[in-house]
Amino acid sequence: MKKLQSLFIGILVIILILFLGVHQLEKASGMAGADTLTIYNWGDYIDPDLLRKFEKESGYKVNYETFDSNEAMFTKIQQGGTAYDITIPSEYMIQKMMKEKMLLPIDHKKLKGLENIDERFLNLDFDPQNKYSIPYFWGTLGIIYNDKFIGKDEIKHWDDLWKPELKDNVMLIDGAREVLGLSLNSLGYSLNSKNNQELRAATDKLNKLTTNVKAIVADEIKMYMINEESAVAVTFSGEAAEMLTSNEHLHYVIPAEGSNLWFDNIVIPKTAKNIKGSYDFINFMLRPENAAQNAEYIGYSTPNKIAEKLLPEEISSDEQFYPNDEVIKHLEVYEDLGAKYLGIYNDLFLEFKMYRK
């Protein structure tokens, strides 16, 4: 009997240890449930003070993790493991996640403040009726240049990147869609082209840019341009805004012939555990004072029309970052190309990078 009792007690101890281990694992993985909200976002893409404010107001503990590309975010959520309650993908990735049935539909009855969003940024092609996503930030892809090295107004078009006087003085962002897209736009083609002849022509033209390319980098562009280590760079508007505040000789241009208009939206992954917390966070970020604080801290453009009015006039009136409708109508949103053509874009971009060597 004593042996049976010892065995029974031993089994209970093992069960207790396993239970505590699973609980700790879930807690570490952001799966602790109703008291925790797990957010998966781009690096440095929210004012940390807002996270603290949300925690204080809501009573939730926020687990905040970051990713550096839409593709990395997609893969991690698809593989499972961490139950993210909120993530913030770009428009073409939202399309892909919808197709893969990775998102929960948004219950608009639970939203407070959607009317604050500018109608121009609602009901877009990548998510009609905003069934799965709520606007967070938007912006453009353009050219930043230093007037100490190149005259004002001498950079207006993508073709200007090919000027001989810019030899070894152009920095490109490390992205296939961005670099192939600017070359496609310079030729008058769509940056979502699936025409093999157009893609070949864009790559051939890029190969002629190699003598001007100093480097193909990512976040380092900010430091290089602020420190005046290059004359020109291709970058996103929010990154450019940060650079401009640090160096008065820098200027941002959206090429007149067209460029990328991008949107990052809040979504709720299908594996989310804290659904109520997800809506509480969305509604928190829809409040104009919070959206304005976030926009001023990050530098990207807010889609919240009430928040825009709360921003300093030098920000909200700056058409480099809040372009008018005439400029916007020449811009394109990235579409989900599908696996085949995404692979083609990546291969052609790799060819270009290897051609440089």
Q: What one-letter code names the amino acid at 118?
A: D
Angle at 46 between CA 40 and CA 51, to 5 degrees: 80
Query: Rg of the Cα trace of the chain?
Result: 23
Calpha distance 141→328 (Å, rounded)? 12
189 among annotated binding-site residues: no
Contact 124, 334 (CB under 8 A): no
Contact 172, 186 (CB under 8 A): no
- Phi, psi torsion values for 170, nearest 5 degrees: -115, 130
Which runs of E-coded beta strand occur in 206-309? 213-217, 232-236, 250-253, 261-266
Q: Residue 64: beta bridge partners?
A: 39
Q: What one-letter code names the amino acid at 195?
A: N
For 149, the 3-state DSSP assignment is coil
Which of 246, 244, 178, 231 has the alpha carbon at shortest distance from 206? 178
Task: Could you list the residues known to form a binding site, using ranges.
Answer: 92
Which residues fall in the annotated binding site for spermidine? 92
